[in-house]
Structure 1
């Protein structure tokens, strides 16, 4: 048997997820704020964290967006076994959902042409929304995740083509140096995503996957998980702190994702997610559509 998902259903959910992601911060990020606030000893940092926590509560109470930056819309779609759909119509439906969210909510469109800087006021453009499609081992299930990636944190993106001789120390140095370089410009506390291996483009993608992974999850690779722990401790010893004004709470965590790579290279990438680490998701099954984080 097969389970069909219609373009109309995809469009409606794509619209809903964009709006929801902008308004409701995931529970793991809220818990991350609680943990950082409890560990913070700097008075200025404590005050900034308290203001951030209040902003989250006010946004939800007033049904308002968490940040004025509506970001670059990113959709991660996982297609399970036995799901039938038209891939081209899927992409078109997501685009229509983004356009509708922008017009009907309405939202500020943050997407412009890279050369003319013309804004179509749809949050869409060439290759935007970004749509990543993968296949998952779940029967008759389609998963959709929406991430609005703001420019403040996206500007904290870096790639370096290391060589094997640079070793683990080379990776650590590159990551720490980049976090120090961006300082408060990426609106800390952050999630620092680190991609290691693959090719240059795969490495950058892995860094974004890492940066947008839920707090409390670990890299599936044991060596990657160990590196996460070491880097998370190191980053929070830099005294960058919330909004770059000093303190312990520079990052909720450092997340690592790794891929096999060539014997003569070892690329490493950094992609940073700001404190408003927004995302929303939906699961399509025969029982209907479940909306969550």
Structure 2
């Protein structure tokens, strides 16, 4: 069945400010096919905030930061979940939906943060710091989550850390997130040396230069940025918190110190706001395309599996977080 041109036209209306009209015909065929495949397979597409606008606004059913995707995945009636994002997100969706088929369109969509730590590393940390609770960022493999006490996201990290009632906690794997949270709480935080390859490239100097070039610009920084970047910013928060900030405060000019597509996706809802784009792309997020989402649904690939025993322990850590 071909989708009526009126439906495709209204989808294009949504993204016309961020996708040039000359590029649209190249996307339209895949979008139309994906909408049909979703119906046929009873599938939903979960897309992270860092996905490109033609995915985020035209084929996704559920969008958000990694916490929102994890939560909403559990509420879906669909039989198939396609995760437009990186591998740890697909694993988390599988942990919370063991009965459903979870697909990731490209197995190479990894994450420098998730790859910075192994389950073995966590076991060694336990030996070194006996009795100190381990908080693991959701940007990790299921195997690492399984070795930890509780998970957190950049949106709820402080709450999670304080919920444990401990004087000190180990926080993995993002060193900057740990240091940024340490600045907000009395709990002593032991950090690991993991970094996000997108956020670690931003500098305080970048922000000063942006302020000079764009007087009055409001600067929002993700907590995976180095602490000196967060200190120079007007606000720091998860991608969901940044998006809420823009909606609530309606700054005239804004810059989001995070992955580049985030600005495009938020800009769609706020045509009156001037978004300055300091473009750092995540090469892993960008491996997901309309073409491989379509193939994932056509050929049922790549199926994400998690070892049952690992899944059970990892699920406990995620559920503890969701209960906070």
TM-score (norm 2): 0.29
The structure with the greater share of residues assigned to helix is 2
Tell me: higher relative CO, structure 1 or 2? Use CA pairs within 8 A at least 6 residues apart.
1
TM-score, structure 1 normalization: 0.31
